[in-house]
């Protein structure tokens, strides 16, 4: 019964006629997850929107439990839906959609955490070396292994003035030279040097137990 209705629903999902919008939304909302996936694979973009609306809250709860920084949740949610869209053809409609989505979310949280640790390690190590402490990457790696320490580093980065944060991120994460950063931001290399110095001073003052 449901399969016979799919061509009709596909036409409704792609119709641009205004009077059909409410009926289309109601019809998509009545479909099972598997039917919505099949409809999406046939070009029904509204069907995928229905899926994302259906599971956005449980997805956010899962990601919030698994990430150290609440500010990262929106970015991870977006990446999960992009990955889900790209992998939708491999979804087994006999399995619960939320379980499948949760696997993607867990992997995205792990990837995000690894990137965060890598960035925080470089940040702590470079700030230590700039201060003449000379602890090196291994000591910094031990420091940011703590979930709380990682959250502290990311929180203080968020608190930096945008101009300071941008210069520091370009310098550490992208390993850009002062001259390259200055050219991109249309300021002098000396201004970039000052911004990075101020950013490091802020971090050392805010995180004396790490830097």
What residues does each domain of the chain span? Answer: 2-113, 114-206
CB 168 within 8 A of CB 160: yes
Q: Which CATH architecture has domain 2-113?
A: Orthogonal Bundle (1.10)
**Does the pLDDT of residue 5 top 50, yes or no?**
no
Q: Tell me how far apart the alpha carbons of residues 77 and 70 are, in angstroms, rounded to a whole number.
A: 12
pLDDT given at position 58: 94
Residues 147-195 pLDDT 10s: 566 667 777 777 888 898 888 888 876 678 889 999 988 999 999 999 9
Half-sphere exposure (Cβ direction) of 61: Cα atoms closer than 13 Å: 4
pTM over 0.95: no
How deeply is 12 buried, as exposed, middle or buried, from its count of CB atoms within 10 A (0-12, 13-18, 19+)? buried
pLDDT given at position 6: 35
CB proximity list for 73: less than 8 A, separation 6 or greater: 60, 63, 64, 67
Where does 114-206 sit in CATH, by number?
1.10.10
Residue 89 pLDDT grade (very low, low, confident, very high; cuts 50, 70, 90): very high
- b or e along 103-115 (b: 16 or more beta carbons within 10 Å of the residue's beta carbon)? ebbeebbeebbee
**In this structure, what token pair is assigned to residue 170?**
């370009």
Average pLDDT in the chain: 75
**Does the pLDDT of residue 137 top 50, yes or no?**
no
Higher pLDDT among residues 25 and 98, named by residue = 98
Residue 10 pLDDT grade (very low, low, confident, very high; cuts 50, 70, 90): very low
pLDDT given at position 167: 87
Higher pLDDT among residues 154 and 108, named by residue = 108
Q: Where are the alpha helices (DSSP H) in the chain?
A: 2-14, 21-30, 33-41, 45-66, 73-87, 97-130, 136-144, 147-159, 162-172, 178-185, 189-206
């Amino acid at each position: 019964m449901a399969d016979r209705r799919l061509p009709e629903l596909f036409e409704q999902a792609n119709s641009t006629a205004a009077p059909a919008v409410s009926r289309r939304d109601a019809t998509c909302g009545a479909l099972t997850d598997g039917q919505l996936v099949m409809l999406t694979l046939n070009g029904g973009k509204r069907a995928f929107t229905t899926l994302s609306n259906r599971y956005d809250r449980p997805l956010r709860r899962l990601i919030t439990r698994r990430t150290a920084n609440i500010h990262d949740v929106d970015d991870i949610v977006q990446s999960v839906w992009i990955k889900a869209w790209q992998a939708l053809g491999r979804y087994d409609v006999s399995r619960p959609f939320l379980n499948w989505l949760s696997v993607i979310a867990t992997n995205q949280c792990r990837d995000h955490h690894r990137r965060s640790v890598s960035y925080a390690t470089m940040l702590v190590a470079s700030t230590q070396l700039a201060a003449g402490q000379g602890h090196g990457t291994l000591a910094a790696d031990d420091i940011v292994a703590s979930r709380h320490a990682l959250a502290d580093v990311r929180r203080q980065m968020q608190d930096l003035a945008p101009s300071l944060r941008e210069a520091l991120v370009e310098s550490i994460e992208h390993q850009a030279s002062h001259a390259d950063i200055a050219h991109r931001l249309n300021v002098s290399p000396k201004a970039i040097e000052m911004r990075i110095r101020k950013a490091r001073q802020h971090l050392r003052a805010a995180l004396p137990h790490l830097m």
